[in-house]
Amino acid sequence: MYSLILAILIPFIAAALIPLIHKRIGALHIGWLVLLVPFTLFVIFVIQIPTISNGEQLIQSVNWIPSMGINFTAYLDGLSLIMVLLITGMGSLVVLYSIYYLSSSDSFPHFYAYLLLFMGAMMGAVLSDNLLVLYIFWELTSISSFLLIAFWYHRKNSRYGAQKSLLITVFGGFGMLAGFLMLHSMTGTFSIREIAAVIGQYTEHALFYPAMFLVLLGAFTKSAQFPFHIWLPDAMEAPTPVSAYLHSATMVKAGIYLVARFTPLFGGSAAWFWTVTLVGLVTLFWGAFCAVRQTDLKALLAYSTISQLGLIMSLFGLGSAALHFGDGELGELYGLAIFAALFHMVNHSTFKGALFMVIGIIDHQVGTRDIRRLGGLMSFLPITFTFAVIGSFSMAGLPFFNGFLSKEMFFTATVNATSLPLFGTSAWGLLIPVVAWVASVFTFVYCMIFVFRTFFGTPQLKKLDRKPVEPSIGMLISPAILCVLIVGLFFAPNLLGDHLLKPALNGIIPGIPGAAPHISAWHGFNAELFMTLGIIVIGTVLFLTFRSWYKIYLIQPAGWNFTVLYNSFLKDLKKAANWFTTRYMTGYLPAYFAYTFIFFIVTSGGVLIFTGALSIDLTADSPISFYEGMLAAAMAIAAIAILFAKSRLTAILLNGVLGFSIAIFFVLFRAPDLALTQLVIETVTTALFLLCFNFLPEWTKEDSPKRTKLRNAAIAISGGLTVTLIGLTVNSGKLFDSISGYFEDSYELTGGDNIVNAILGNFRAFDTMLESLVLFIAGLGVYTLIRLKLGKGPKKDEHQ
């Protein structure tokens, strides 16, 4: 019944069991057991493809906090099915690859526990229907990715990259949470499906656009969109299997998924269309432009990932216009962009995962990823070279590889945008295909750099750490499977399109079935084909003449980038934090008391005054007798006199006056049990004070400056006045009848003649039991301290 929820929990359970199993499996690699988890889940979800492709949806829910509308609801439709298949399918290949990639010196239990933790978090995020549950899994992906990126924590760059990714993605997550709370405030529900059904009533609400932009903030930071892209290149310090999993197929797709899932809520508006489209296009161009100048293969793929994510994001932005037109020719025309986005999301996972694994093989077998030290590897690594060609040419959008099909759809969507009669695109729409084409030219260039500068040319064996040879067959299986998919999806794309992409499209833009086309490689001589031919020609020229135009990268000043801005911000923030901390962490106890009381006075007093809660009504109070007034005056005098006491004995006796006076008050109020208790406690306390103070050094009262005394007096008076006003306000503004009337029936309810004993022994029996338990534990602690025999410390080595 709860198979979806169980599927989410399985990786967490497996992660918890790994430390226990690892010690008991002997020589068997723990990775083989871990591999069963994603592979089993992949098979389970593959079985659901016929059900989902028929338009059905699976929903399972468990009550969590139903009073607040928070339930653990798992929701499987076409979009979430694509994501979980990527998560589990790529997860299986990555685990298999990691078995041969990781060194025996690496901590396998930690690595696989973190990996499964991330896998479960990603599955929870894409399957959750409840916004708050989604947010919990969302932040768990940030935490688990932090652990994976910092896996080689002894490296400074690994720690820096992990911290950077955590700070940026969690910052965006906080903004996203605020957007979720705004959506709940508007609609009264946390369910994404329920919000989508009623959001049309709230498009004019004051919180609609703030919620939209805050949700996009979370999506942009997680998917490394400009200007939040700076964390992804530094995250490449993670082991290559992590990069292949998190930074090509899963984590960076979480933001893409969020935009797709929330398109039915916010799509159709100009703000969503332009924000998502422009951010995607800028990211597409900037990532491709920066990738060309990288000398580290992993850094090159990092920026290429940023660029490809921008491409997918821009497609979702363009396709959101379909919700404005609805079921019609224009709706179908622009819905094609979302279909292309879904298609390229899958294609990107295949070719980018394969390329990361290729880099891992090169680094593992050669000892470096530096392009300047590589070259001529084709003759030493022919199989790896084949994988590199397939993955790179697919990313470049060349024929006979799946990337060509989705890239052609991307060009179709950008060309269609030039004639979109909506959102002012008639004036600026021409820039969309131009930016897309220029970025694609740079994409072609860095793909050629990856292939030709790594595998062609003269081998530089003296610059390598070891002689290059092909790895074991086990390390080649995973990229081989991905390369088969790359080629297979080109020749049979409609298997994917009909059974996965169309159901996902219907979940994003329902009611526009014509937006899902029949995928084919040949559409005649059209604008998209000529754009591709232009990319190949211009890209080849730029690649061959790279050294002559490389200087354009020197135009940008060295300190003018967002990484420098990020580092500067953290540095200034640390300075400010140190300055602020040294101002209040003085090591002086009276200062801490002053801060505490000032905070209490400002917050509590401010609430009383500025909210109009202050209300004092003394008409219903009992009159104060002469004896009560005299006793209160005596207590006030004793309290003030403590401040001027010149010896400890005097201060203790004056403090005793306060305690014994309270006991007299209990007598006046006819509470003999409380009076007796107070007398006993006060007597014992005073005796203990006198006993302890007898062993303290002589008291020398320090003279505080007059300014300090005045400050302390003002704080004390203000604190006392605040407490008094709170008490009088509470007493004057009773919203309910006093509970004392209920306790007056103690004899009938409990059979107790003494109301105090009845309260302690019956009405508050559990509380009294816990208080007794606390006293018992405190007694054990005191007994242990008394009986503790302190050793003389370790003996020093005679030879030292």
CB atoms within 10 A of CB 411: 23
Q: What is the DSSP letter of 619?
A: T
Tokens encoding 94:
């990555």
Tell me if 90 is assigned to some domain: no
Q: How confident is the model over 703-735, as pLDDT tens digits? A: 667 788 788 889 988 998 999 999 888 877 777
Q: In terms of domains, do 548 and 600 share one?
A: no
Determine the pLDDT at residue 421: 65
CB atoms within 10 A of CB 356: 31
Tell me if 259 is assigned to some domain: no
- Among residues 341, 351, 337, the alpha carbon closest in space to that of 402 is found at 351
Q: In terms of domains, do 313 and 446 share one?
A: yes
Backbone phi, then psi, for 74, in 5-degree steps? -100, 135
Determine the pLDDT at residue 19: 87
Contacts 24+ apart (CB under 8 A), 636-639: none
Task: Give the mean pLDDT of 92-102.
Answer: 95
Tell me if 29 is assigned to some domain: no
Q: In terms of domains, do 378 and 453 share one?
A: yes
Confidence of residue 426 (pLDDT cuts 50, 70, 90): low
Question: Residue 59: beta bridge partners?
Answer: 75
Q: In terms of domains, do 594 and 513 share one?
A: no
3-state helix, strand, coil in the chain (%, to 5): 75, 0, 25
Torsion angle, alpha carbons of 127, 132, 137, 140, to 10: 170
Tell me if 699 is assigned to some domain: yes
CB atoms within 10 A of CB 22: 17
Q: How confident is the model over 22-51, as pLDDT tens digits? A: 888 877 889 999 999 999 999 999 999 999
Q: How confident is the model over 244-254, as pLDDT tens digits? A: 999 888 899 99
Confidence of residue 792 (pLDDT cuts 50, 70, 90): very low
DSSP H or E stretch at residue 74: strand 70-76
- Concatenated DSSP letters for 579-613? HHHHHH--S-HHHHHHHHHHHHHHHHHHHHHHTT-
Q: What is the DSSP letter of 466?
A: S
Backbone phi, then psi, for 318, in 5-degree steps? -65, -40
Tokens encoding 550:
């490389």
Q: In terms of domains, do 523 and 595 share one?
A: no
**479-488, 518-527, 691-700: which is most confident:** 479-488
Determine the pLDDT at residue 266: 94
Determine the pLDDT at residue 409: 93
Q: In terms of domains, do 629 and 679 share one?
A: yes
In one-letter notation, the amino acid at residue 17 is: L
CA–CA separation, 663 and 673 (whole Å): 10
Tokens encoding 543:
């690649």
CA–CA separation, 156 and 163 (whole Å): 11
Confidence of residue 308 (pLDDT cuts 50, 70, 90): very high
CA–CA separation, 669 and 632 (whole Å): 14
**Residue 235 clears pLDDT 90, i.e. is over it:** yes
- Among residues 108, 124, 97, 100, the alpha carbon closest in space to that of 11 is found at 124
Q: In terms of domains, do 397 and 342 share one?
A: yes
- Concatenated DSSP letters for 492-549? SHHHHIIIIIHHHHHHHSTT-GGGSPPP-S---S-HHHHHHHHHHHHHHHHHHTHHHH
Q: In terms of domains, do 677 and 744 share one?
A: no
Task: Give the mean pLDDT of 740-751.
Answer: 78
Task: Give the mean pLDDT of 107-114.
Answer: 93
Scan for tokens 């101002």, then name that residue.
583
Tell me if 17 is assigned to some domain: no
- Asked whether the beta carbons of 72 and 62 are under 8 A apart, the reply is yes
Q: In terms of domains, do 498 and 574 share one?
A: no
Q: How confident is the model over 335-388, as pLDDT tens digits? A: 899 999 999 999 999 999 999 999 999 999 998 999 999 999 999 999 999 999
Q: In terms of domains, do 647 and 570 share one?
A: no
Determine the pLDDT at residue 702: 62
Tell me if 506 is assigned to some domain: yes
Tell me if 223 is assigned to some domain: no
- Asked whether the beta carbons of 280 and 429 are under 8 A apart, the reply is no
Q: How confident is the model over 166-196, as pLDDT tens digits? A: 999 999 999 999 999 999 999 999 999 999 9
Task: Give the mean pLDDT of 648-653.
Answer: 84
**Total domain count, the chain:** 4
Distances from the Cα of 735 to the Cα of 12, 729, 732, angstroms: 47, 11, 9
**Residue 797 clears pLDDT 60, i.e. is over it:** no
Q: In terms of domains, do 540 and 573 share one?
A: no
CA–CA separation, 369 and 468 (whole Å): 13
- Asked whether the beta carbons of 390 and 487 are under 8 A apart, the reply is yes
Torsion angle, alpha carbons of 579, 580, 582, 584, to 10: 160
Say which residue, 417 or 278, is predicted with more confidence: 278
Distances from the Cα of 265 to the Cα of 23, 142, 179, 504, angstroms: 49, 25, 12, 16
Task: Give the mean pLDDT of 219-238.
Answer: 94
Q: In terms of domains, do 378 and 447 share one?
A: yes
- Concatenated DSSP letters for 696-748? SPPP------HHHHHHHHHHHHHHHHHHHHHHHHHHHS--S--THHHHTTHHH
Burial class of residue 281 in the structure, from the number of CB atoms within 10 Å of its CB (0-12 exposed, 13-18 middle, 19+ buried): buried
Q: What is the domain range of residue 594?
A: 589-739
Tell me if 113 is assigned to some domain: no
Tokens encoding 48:
């659901």
